[in-house]
Amino acid sequence: MRGPFQLGTGKRFADFTDGLSNVIWVGEKQVALTQQGVGWSDCSTYNGDYPTCWGRGVTTGLTTNPRDTGIKFGSRHTGVVQFCFGDGRVRSLPVSIDPYTLTLLGTRGHGQVIPDY
């Protein structure tokens, strides 16, 4: 399966064959409390030359634990993480979401039916 974007390649809306509303484009970034203000972990919103800054993926799961040091999508919200989908809407996803469903939402062009979440 392919993520929504690959470094160095342009994507058109037509490349999102599963529909823009079924693909995560942007999500909240987990930064552990002990790493806030530390450049290599708590970097800018986007730093194209350092993958830790932009390299979150759906295969590592979601977290709301402020002490989690993983490179994950995460938040300080209770039990949910906010995501922006390709159609522009923002939705909260529960940290308990099925990993397979999260993987489907984080890829484009897989052709699978996305289970309810």
Residue pLDDT tens, the chain, 117 long:
456 777 677 788 888 888 999 999 989 988 888 888 777 666 665 566 666 666 677 778 899 999 998 888 999 999 999 999 999 999 999 999 999 999 999 988 888 999 998
In a domain, 18, yes or no: no
Q: Which domain holds residue 84?
A: 24-105
Task: For the beta carbon of residue 100, count every other beta carbon within 10 angstroms.
Answer: 11
Q: Does residue 76 lie within any of the structural domains?
A: yes
User: Residue 10's pLDDT is what?
Assistant: 79
Let me know how long the chain is. 117
Number of domains in the chain: 1
What is the amino acid identity at position 25? Answer: W
On whether residue 89 sits in a domain, the answer given is yes
Residue 91 lies in a domain: yes
Q: Tell me, yes or no, whether 54 lies in a domain.
A: yes
Q: What is the pLDDT of residue 36?
A: 81
pTM for this entry: 0.82
Phi, psi of 88 (to 5 degrees): 95, -10
**Rounded to whole angstroms, how far apart are CA atoms 114 and 64?**
24
Which of 99, 86, 21, 23 has the alpha carbon at shortest distance from 58?
99
Confirm whether 42 is domain-assigned: yes
Q: Is residue 2 part of a domain?
A: no
Write down the pLDDT at residue 44.
Answer: 60
